[in-house]
A and B are shown apart, each in its own frame.
Chain A
Amino acid sequence: MNLKEKLTFLHKLICSNYSLSLWSYNADFELLDTTAKWDLISVSDFIPAVSSHLASGFLSPLILETNVGMLWIIGFCHKNRELESIHFLGPAVTGRDTSDLLRQKLETYELSVRTHSIVSRMIATTPLIPNGMLANYAVMLHYALNDETLPLSDVKFFVQDREVLSPARETYSVAAESLWKKEQSLCQMFENGDHSAVSAIISLLSISSGAKSELKDAVRKNKNNALVLLTLCSRSCIRGGLHPSAAFDLYEYYASLLEECRTTGEVVKFCKDMVSDFMSQVQHAKADSSISPSIQNICYYIQKHLTESLCIENLAKLTGYTEYYFSYKFQKETGITIKEYILNEKISRAKLLLTDSSQSIQEISDTLGFCNRSYFSTCFMKKVGMSPSQYKSLNAKI
């Protein structure tokens, strides 16, 4: 295939998913070919961005975000580092926010109804492509142009300055001082693992509703505030004795859970549950202060990976100790062997699954990695004093 055929093929391939146009220019920015009706390069600000990229000695692909928020993939065809042609693929947007920004900008123009509707349609049909996907297309374009494979990290991003109407900065507010004090005392409560922090955050919410940003989406605004609270809470808990890896794991868990909230009420409930969980963890960590952080950390790891295969050799590697010393240290600090600890945790989880889920005993046995149902029942009987089926029916009656 020659260059034109390769480009046409790549363009068709991309267009099967996203409708993008292709422009080809020579090294002097003279239009060679396009699938669009207009000359892209005549639009201001393209030449300076591309020229500055080339002046830096780069011939790797570029993703250009113009000051209106639209994106273009730019590929460079070269022979022995001598630029031969420049190719643009676009436009695209990377998020719903960009489309909203374009619509807001559209409102500032004096346009007739017909023009307004034509441009609105154009904005609505501009494909929304994630950044990662754009970078993949850029690498593919570079391959089509130069027969060279490039890592994604070689794709450069260039963002033109956006015209931003920044709100006037407000002068220092007296209320801020009181808010800061309340926030400090809340962080102290987090550090102490104090469960009254749950009601304290509700009173803090009545004083401040977070940053005074003009977000149209009230749920999003609440989620942003909850994320700030989550960050403050997790960091304070680390200062309160919670192991950083446990705190960061909880942070990640709650950050993803937060995105599933659909209403402001759900976000408030999320905040209460999240703070309550963190407080329990801090209290637990304080009670276990006789146990070294490395053993606390491994206990947390076991609780989190109960459904996976847990061998002592790997657990020892995680702590950095030899298998023998790890087993010795674990028993010395916790009073039980590591195998016993894993079994206890598995039986606790099994009790939870027997009452809370519709899983069968066989499924629970498989989930928790017991070699067979019979062995699971024997272990369960030994620890709980009754068989799993008895435990299940007893709790079902309750």
Chain B
Amino acid sequence: MKDFYFKITGQTDLNALIKLVAKCDNDVYYESADGDRISLKSTFGQFIFFTLNKTSYILPQQSWIHCTGASDRKRLSELLIPYTGKDERKYHEPERKTDFPS
């Protein structure tokens, strides 16, 4: 199935987004330039997502919503703006926990 990406802007209603994600057929992820990948269909993922929002950590220019399949893309398009500049997502290397020397 094809991958699709959407932008998060300062005006995106994150609560409405979660309600929309619940209707999606496949998993939907919040991804950030730092390397975060959080499933928005799991309750715990939603808690992480809202915690990040609460701490103003979700930066519109460095965050994406990732879904698969045309039907989910159609659903999310009701709220989000499709993101075409996919390669720009990799403008810097993600800082991962696993990158630390053991």
Task: Point out residues on A near B: beta carbons under 8 Å.
Answer: 31, 36-39, 42-45, 66-68, 70, 102, 105-106, 109-116, 118-119, 122
Count chain B CB atoms within 10 A of each CB in A45, A112, A122 and give the residue with the most.
A112
Contacts of B96 in A (CB 8 A): 110, 112-113
Asked if A112 meets B18 with Cβ closer than 8 Å, knowing A38-B54, A43-B43, the reply is: no
Within the complex, which residue of B14, B34, B43, B46 is in contact with A115, where a contact is CB–CB below 8 Å? B34
Within the complex, which residue of A36, A102, A109 is in contact with B45, where a contact is CB–CB below 8 Å? A109
B43–A38 CB distance below 8 A: no
Contacts of B100 in A (CB 8 A): 113
What separation, in Å, do the CA atoms of A115 and B57 have in the docked complex? 8
B35–A110 CB distance below 8 A: yes
What separation, in Å, do the CA atoms of A93 and B78 have in the docked complex? 36
Q: A37-B54, A44-B22, A118-B57 are in contact. List 13 more A-B contacts (CB 8 A).
A: A42-B16, A42-B19, A43-B50, A44-B41, A70-B47, A110-B37, A111-B35, A111-B36, A111-B48, A111-B97, A112-B35, A115-B48, A119-B48
Task: Decide if B51 is an interface residue (CB 8 Å cutoff).
Answer: yes
A44–B38 CB distance below 8 A: no
B43 to chain A, nearest CB (A): 5
Contacts of A39 in B (CB 8 A): 15
Contacts of B32 in A (CB 8 A): 112, 115
Within the complex, which residue of B15, B41, B47, B97 is in contact with A112, where a contact is CB–CB below 8 Å? B97
A119–B22 CB distance below 8 A: no
Asked if A38 meets B50 with Cβ closer than 8 Å, knowing A44-B18, A68-B43, the reply is: yes
21 interchain pairs (CB within 8 A)?
Answer: A38-B15, A42-B16, A42-B18, A42-B19, A43-B43, A43-B46, A44-B43, A70-B47, A105-B44, A109-B37, A109-B45, A110-B35, A110-B96, A111-B37, A111-B97, A113-B100, A115-B32, A115-B57, A116-B97, A118-B57, A119-B48
Contacts of B53 in A (CB 8 A): 37-38
A97 to chain B, nearest CB (A): 16
Contacts of B36 in A (CB 8 A): 109-112, 115
The 10 A-B residue pairs whose C-beta atoms are closest, nearest first, are A112-B34, A39-B15, A42-B15, A110-B37, A42-B18, A38-B50, A68-B44, A122-B51, A37-B54, A112-B35
B43–A118 CB distance below 8 A: no
Considering only CB atoms, which chain A residue lies closest to B16 in the complex?
A: A42
Q: Mark B21-65, 1 if CB is under 8 A from A, else 0.
A: 010000000001011111101011111101111110100000000
Q: Which secondary structure dominates where chain B touches chain A?
A: helix
A112–B52 CB distance below 8 A: no
Contacts of B54 in A (CB 8 A): 36-38
Contacts of B45 in A (CB 8 A): 109
B29 to chain A, nearest CB (A): 9
Contacts of A43 in B (CB 8 A): 18, 43, 46-47, 50
Contacts of A111 in B (CB 8 A): 35-38, 48, 97
What separation, in Å, do the CA atoms of A118 and B96 have in the docked complex? 14
Contacts of A115 in B (CB 8 A): 32, 34, 36, 48, 52, 57
Contacts of A66 in B (CB 8 A): 43
B97–A118 CB distance below 8 A: no
Within the complex, which residue of A44, A70, A106, A118 is in contact with B52, where a contact is CB–CB below 8 Å? A118
A116 to chain B, nearest CB (A): 6
Considering only CB atoms, which chain A residue lies closest to B37 in the complex?
A: A110
What separation, in Å, do the CA atoms of A114 and B51 have in the docked complex? 12
Count chain B CB atoms within 10 A of each CB in A105, A110, A113 and give the residue with the most.
A110
A110 to chain B, nearest CB (A): 4
Contacts of B48 in A (CB 8 A): 106, 109, 111, 115, 119
Contacts of A112 in B (CB 8 A): 32, 34-36, 94-97
What separation, in Å, do the CA atoms of A74 and B17 have in the docked complex? 24
Contacts of A113 in B (CB 8 A): 95-97, 100
